[in-house]
Structure 1
Amino acid sequence: MADVKKIATRESYGNALVALGEKYDNLVVLDADLAEATKTGIFKKAFPERHIDCGIAESNMVGIAAGIASTGKVPFCSSFAMFAAGRAFEQVRNSVGYPHLNVKIGATHAGISVGEDGASHQCNEDIALMRTIPGMTIINPSDDVEAKAAVEAAYKMDGPVYLRFGRLAVPVINDNADYKFEIGKGVVLKEGKDLTIFATGLEVNESLEAAKKLAEDGIDAEVINIHTIKPIDADLIVKSASKTGKVVTVEEHSVIGGLGGAVAEVLSEKCPTKMLRIGVKDTFGESGPAVKLLAKYELDAEGIYKQIKEFI
């Protein structure tokens, strides 16, 4: 079997910015002294006059982006998720969300797969934080193809967008001819009848692999990619839950306030369903190799498989 192509979605982000920069001269990129890590350095090399390094001052960077957006340009401001959503939360809320400005936030190094940088940098709370800001769109792509599509979709829509990217290289799973990205619309990757797995980000591939393990036990799992956490595809969630009667959410984020919380809100109001939330339990991460951390926190295919087996 040929090796599966893998690429980190932060790399996809940098490449997508360059491709868009070639088409749209009103696109501006800001970074907070992390251009090499966030991969906006790729854009800086291609368009140095449209790249602004704001230094280690993420809150100020968001304010600058808000000002640029008010002139009609489309700024993408970038940093690690811990800083973009955490350190700069007040500025994102008050300077971007409140006036509903057209600022795009490219948040890289999200989740425990940041690895050796440890708990201080492993942001498992960013989706929860951003979900509380009125009018904020949140996208968490699963692979290279989806990440590039998400960046372009974010550019084309009017309003604030939070884009979540990872450090770890992940398999490309959406390189099929009929793939279509649409903000707010989930994607059914595998149909099934016994339960539904709603996954997001790098957990989409792990959930597909877990579904294969479940199939060996005679369990037919439906797998749905929820790349847009807000606005969430409530119609698809209700439709699938009504069919299978059991729901599992999988995310590289706290089980509090992320995909699991969003799906639970939908189901509690529209279709009460037996449900399991798989993610980072109410705890901080730790330093270690990304792949080993995913296994320890039971966020790899084997861990997902075991948790679902116990659930059903």
Structure 2
Amino acid sequence: MPPAHLTDRRPELGADELISALVPPPRFDTVRFSTYVPNPDEPSQAEAVVRCSAFADRITAAAAKKPSRFRALFGGERQDTGPMGMYLDGGFGVGKTHLLASTWHQAPGPKAYGTFVELTHLVGALGFPEAVRRLSEHRVLAIDEFELDDPGDTMLVTRLLRELTSAGVFVAATSNTLPDKLGEGRFAAEDFLREIQSLAQRFAVVRVDGPDYRHRGLPDAPPPVTEDELAASAATVEGSTVDDFDALCAHLAELHPSRYGRMLDGVTRVHLRGLHPAPDQSVALRLVAFADRLYDRAIPVVVSGRPLPDLFTDEMVNGGYRKKYLRAVSRLTALARDAGKPVR
């Protein structure tokens, strides 16, 4: 049987499916605060576990009091006067998503979890009033990768969060860095609070310091394989896909990034032939979103052509989206190492 191709997949998601899909991705299905291992050299990580757990406990306590959402929507006072939002502030690879998902798991339902891109797609698909109505039925909304680099979408989601927090919905979020902020270790709390403007006072900031845990004491990305080795890997691992790199880039341009995850359903290993540096920023940013969905699903990656660290040019890495590109390389490197482990 010939190998499957991601380029043959064009997933569609209906409105109800978009709502039901708002759960942590497979990599974070089983994470909990107890499985987060703080770096002993970074005290803020242990403190973040305590603060995130306390935030989840506040949601549980608020749920036990069963406040009237009707009163909240029309100006009724809620009994819990603490911040309705929590923002996890830190560089990539410090476990922010682990903490965000753990908060979601510990909090009572109904609850929703999604990336910023998935949230904006949901609003586009349902319309703003219906999105507010559907999400207001939840006790907590967790947002990973809050995009600070798109002013229009940021304003849209800020308006959405204002409606939701006024309705009594708790919000937990992580974010990237604004595109004109170049330092990879730079924290984004000031940017996040400024961009959400009137909502800033509703968010408490939880700092998570530290180096990228994915590469502490580990070797660099494995070198690209030969075409024969790539074909052998695809033939060995059931559920593999094989695609030409350029063809995949063209295919990603035809799909909304919120569909990238569904495109990977049932895939156990991704093989890319002829990897080379992304030709422009638009392609590069789509590859970042694709890498995030691969990582969410813990799908190993095998490539031929150029090494993974060459995926983004020096100009890109030293430009405004530096943090995104470095995170993508970090995640893809981890997935490439996974591909070298014995198949169970």
- When normalised by structure 1's length, the TM-score is 0.29
Higher strand share: 1
Higher helix share: 2
Give the alignment's TM-score, normalised by structure 2: 0.27
Higher relative contact order (CA 8 A, sep 6+): 2
